[in-house]
Amino acid sequence: MGISKTAVFNEQQNKIAQYAKALAHPARVAIIEFLLKHKSCFCGELVEELPLSQSTISQHLRELKHAGLIKGEIEGPRIGYCIHEEAWEEARDVMLNLYASFAAKKNCC
């Protein structure tokens, strides 16, 4: 979706789409699971864990960072990554609100 089209949607809809896009690849889900388990890591650790090249993992890390779900800090010549706690909680809340808005109807489809 082009940048101009996102303006017609509200902030919450754009946030949900941004988080969903960031988690829409199994490699990114695996990276998030790794970070949740290990609290932090370097790209090289993910290369050892996942069956992907370093450049591919870097691209996935960039997408997760762009969505705000993770953050990275330079530590010498490497970048350490971890879950961005505030953004993670916000993502959880907006997704829970979306799911909580569902009301089952007996005569649907």
Tens of pLDDT, residue by residue over 22-50, are 999 999 999 999 999 998 888 889 999 99
Confidence band of 109 (pLDDT split at 50, 70, 90): low
pLDDT tens, residue by residue, 38-89: 988 888 899 999 999 999 999 999 999 999 999 998 877 888 999 999 999 9
CA distances 76 to 36, 42, 44, 79, Å, are: 23, 11, 14, 8
- Asked if 82 and 46 touch (Cβ cutoff 8 Å), the reply is no
Closest by Cα among 45, 42, 82 to 64: 82
Q: How far is CA 12 from the centre of its chain?
A: 16
pTM: 0.84
The answer to whether the beta carbons of residues 82 and 52 sit under 8 Å apart is: no
| CA 41 to chain centroid | 16
